[in-house]
């Protein structure tokens, strides 16, 4: 059996209640998969900042770099007032590990909600665009203030994110062909931008993405485009039309939170921060101080993030086993956590999903 080394970064609040679920599901995988796991606990977050003076200790980054095949990140609390020296550890991690993409699958349960079934992935560029944070404020001639920000789009990052979207579309098709149930029958990538207005920046994104996806290996992928505002409209009217959506940083941020709203609870939605050869699975929710310590946090976003991490490690079969078990739990609907209208505890949901592996 191969041994995969996984870094566990629980963080704060319910991060500490859901990250153990990731460990449990990996340990419970059927032995026929021939996988073994070893785990290392790593610090990050607000409590780490209060104890050590840094939210992301160097040791955490070093161990991830030198001694882990993949990792799971829970959630961190941010200080409510601006605190000197504090900066978001997940943002720093993405930078220091070169995790240039944020990948967020959104899948409905059963027949879906009001908008029907949904099964899409949003692939968001994660290093540039307006989030380079190059802002300045100055005073205009009439004495009033003006603020400006740089929106930086590079050919390199646009190419890489589009290629990743193409690869994800092909992999989803393979998973479907291997028997996973889905509303889609062919791979599709929708390139989202606003190049009708921002012809240089979004124009470069659009043009580069189209070139990347025109390559031979993506010939089975249907490539289409959508201007971002009409994308939002269609996302809420006809979400079933979308398989993989690729977008620059800011649009991707907004679209992915919006898409998460289509499926009911934040407690269901996973994500992965992905770079070359490394992925960190991360539930989309925060540290949820309102339910911390009650043992009722929904572990499903973390279980799905664990599967997503495995996909990027090339362990598609193991990932599929987890997705199936989670879907079965949700479809039966007997052991659901309170955010889904049920009465089950975190522990009861984990046990139920593990039994279904
Ligand atoms: P949140 O995601 O923590 O909670 C929003 C609401 O959803 C709450 O009512 C919460 O109880 C519920 N919820 C979230 N996850 C759930 C789960 N797994 N099961 C059941 N219910 C769940 O967002 P917030 O309240 O705006 O932020 C709380 C803290 O988390 C803040 O300090 C914020 O900065 C931080 N935060 C961190 C991340 C991250 O680490 N990636 C993301 C968002 C917010
Ligand atoms: Mn966001």
Question: What would the pLDDT profile of 251-306 be if each residue is shown by its tens digit?
Answer: 999 999 889 888 878 899 999 999 988 999 999 999 999 999 999 999 999 999 99
Distances (CA, A) of 125 to 100, 228, 283: 6, 15, 18
Say whether pLDDT at 109 is over 90: no
What interface predicted TM-score (ipTM) does this complex get? 0.97
Is the CB–ligand 1 distance for residue 297 below 6 Å? yes
Rounded to whole angstroms, the Cα distance separating 60 from 2 reads 24
Q: Is 101 in the pocket of ligand 1 (CB under 6 A)?
A: no
What is the signed CA dihedral for 260, 266, 269, 275, rounded to 10 degrees?
Answer: 90
Read off the tokens for 110: 């059963």
> CA 324, 327, 329, 334 torsion: positive or negative?
negative
Both tokens of residue 262? 């289509």
303 CA to centre of ligand 1 in angstroms: 17
**pLDDT tens-digit readout, 1-55:** 899 999 999 999 999 999 999 999 999 999 999 999 999 999 999 999 999 999 9
| Final residue of a structural domain among 203, 238, 263 | 263
Pocket residue to mutate for ligand 1, from 17, 22, 266, most atoms within 8 A of Cβ = 266
Are both 57 and 96 inside the same structural domain?
Answer: yes
75 CB less than 6 Å from ligand 1? yes
- Assess whether 269 and 319 both reside in one domain: yes
pLDDT confidence bin for 143, thresholds 50/70/90: very high
pLDDT greater than 90 at residue 91:
no
- 250 and 171 within one domain: yes
Q: Same domain for 166 and 299?
A: no
* Same domain, yes or no: 106 and 119: no
Same domain, 220 and 349: no
pLDDT over 90 at 113, yes or no: no
Residue 179 pLDDT greater than 80, yes or no = no
Query: What pLDDT, on the 0 to 100 scale, is given for residue 302?
Result: 98
Contact (Cβ atoms closer than 8 angstroms) between residue 101 and residue 282: no
What confidence score (pLDDT) does residue 316 get?
87
The boundaries of the domain holding residue 339 are 1-111+265-357
* CB 301 near ligand 1, within 6 Å: yes
- Ligand 1 neighbourhood includes 346 CB (under 6 angstroms): no
Q: Is residue 139 domain-shared with residue 226, that is, in the same domain?
A: yes
Helix then strand then coil, % of the chain, to nearest 5: 45, 20, 35
Distance 80 CA to ligand 1 centre (A): 14
Residues 273, 263: contact at Cβ < 8 Å?
no
User: Does 290 sit in the ligand 1 pocket, CB within 6 Å?
Assistant: yes
Please say which residue of 231, 263, 295 terminates a domain.
Answer: 263
Q: What is the pLDDT of residue 144?
A: 98
**Same domain as 222, residue 161:** yes
For residues 86-109, average pLDDT: 91
Residues 97 and 65 in one domain: yes
Identify whether the C-beta of residue 266 lies closer than 8 Å to the C-beta of residue 14.
no
Q: Are residues 246 and 310 in the same domain?
A: no
As for how many domains the chain has, the answer is 2
| pLDDT band for position 175 (cuts 50, 70, 90) | confident
Q: How many CA atoms lie within 13 A of 92 on its CB side?
A: 15
The answer to whether residue 311 scores a pLDDT higher than 80 is yes
CATH of the domain at 335: 3.40.718.10
The residue whose C-alpha atom lies closest to atom 26 belonging to ligand 1 is: 286
Q: Which numbered ligand comes closest to the C-alpha of 336?
A: 1
- Tell me if the pTM is above 0.90: yes
Do 104 and 11 reside in the same domain of the chain? yes
- Say if residue 169 is in the same domain as residue 310: no
């Amino acid at each position: 059996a191969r041994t995969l080394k996984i870094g566990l970064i629980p963080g704060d609040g319910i991060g500490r209640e859901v990250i153990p679920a990731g460990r449990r599901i990996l340990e419970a995988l059927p032995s026929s998969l021939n996988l073994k796991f070893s785990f290392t606990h790593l610090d990050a977050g607000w409590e780490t900042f209060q104890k050590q003076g840094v939210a992301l200790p160097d040791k955490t980054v070093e161990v991830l770099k030198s001694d882990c095949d993949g990792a799971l990140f829970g959630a961190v609390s941010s200080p409510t007032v601006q605190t000197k020296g504090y900066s978001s550890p997940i943002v720093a991690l993405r930078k220091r590990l070169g995790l240039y993409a944020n990948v967020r699958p959104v899948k409905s349960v059963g027949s879906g909600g009001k908008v029907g079934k949904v099964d899409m992935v949003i692939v968001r560029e994660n290093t540039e665009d307006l989030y380079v944070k190059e802002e300045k404020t100055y005073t205009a001639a009439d004495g009033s203030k003006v603020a400006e920000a740089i929106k930086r789009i590079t050919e390199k990052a646009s190419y890489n994110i589009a290629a990743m979207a193409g690869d994800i579309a092909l992999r989803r098709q393979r998973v479907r062909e291997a028997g996973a149930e889905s509303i889609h029958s062919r791979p599709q990538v929708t390139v989202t931008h606003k190049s009708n207005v921002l012809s240089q920046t979004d124009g470069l994104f659009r043009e580069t993405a189209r070139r990347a996806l025109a390559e031979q290996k993506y010939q089975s992928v249907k490539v289409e485009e959508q201007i971002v505002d009409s994308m939002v409209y269609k996302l809420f009217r006809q979400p079933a039309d979308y398989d993989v959506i690729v977008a620059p940083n800011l649009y991707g941020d907004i679209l992915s939170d919006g898409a998460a709203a289509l499926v009911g609870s934040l407690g269901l939605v996973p994500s992965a921060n992905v770079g070359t050869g490394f992925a960190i699975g991360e539930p989309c929710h925060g540290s949820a101080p309102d339910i911390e310590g009650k043992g009722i946090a929904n572990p499903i976003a973390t279980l799905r993030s664990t599967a997503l991490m495995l996909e990027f490690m090339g362990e598609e079969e193991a990932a599929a086993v987890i997705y199936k078990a989670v879907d079965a739990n949700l479809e039966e609907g007997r052991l659901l956590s309170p955010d889904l209208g049920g009465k089950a505890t975190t522990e009861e949901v984990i046990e139920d999903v593990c039994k279904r592996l």
